Amino acid sequence: MKKINIILCTLFSILFLSCEKREYYQGEYIIINETNEGINCYATGRNISAPSVTIHDYIPANSKLSLRKVNITNKATVKDIFVSIEIYQNAQKAIKNPMEQNLWIQTISDNQLTYTLVVDVSFFK
């Protein structure tokens, strides 16, 4: 009887937690290039029900790129959305890791959640 109670409590806990209301936003990941030279961005995005998405883009000097748009919660991290992100300038890989959440600036406005990574010269020195 004790085992049945434990199993039922566990099942109810899982059911209760899975019904937690989550607020989803239209999310966007943006990279801004604030250097005087172009940069190359290579990223692999996570997909739940399909193969990973591979992204390769060139971002000219003093320009920005919308890297990816997805529906996300405000608790999502860059590691939830991407498998990897690498940034290069003149074949030199950035010394800062774009997968570190603290490098991304989060803003929320009108059900739009935006994460922005500002790449400056400190990424390469």
Does residue 98 sit in helix, strand or coil? coil
For residues 21 and 56, what is the distance between their CA atoms, to the nearest angstrom? 35
For residues 27 and 109, what is the distance between their CA atoms, to the nearest angstrom? 11
Take residue 124 and report the two structure tokens written for it: 């390469």
For residues 45 and 80, what is the distance between their CA atoms, to the nearest angstrom? 9
Give the chain's domains with CATH numbers. 23-123 (2.60.40)
pLDDT computed for residue 112 by the predictor: 94
For residues 100 and 97, what is the distance between their CA atoms, to the nearest angstrom? 6
pLDDT computed for residue 74 by the predictor: 87
Tell the residue number behind the tokens 């209301």, with chain if given: 21
pLDDT computed for residue 53 by the predictor: 87
Q: List the chain pLDDT tens, one digit each, 125 residues.
A: 666 766 655 655 665 555 566 788 999 999 999 999 999 999 999 887 777 889 999 999 999 999 999 999 988 999 999 999 999 999 999 999 999 999 999 999 988 999 999 999 999 98
**Alpha-helix runs per DSSP H in 19-83:** 78-81
Compute the Cα dihedral for 54, 86, 30, 60 and give only its sign.
Answer: negative
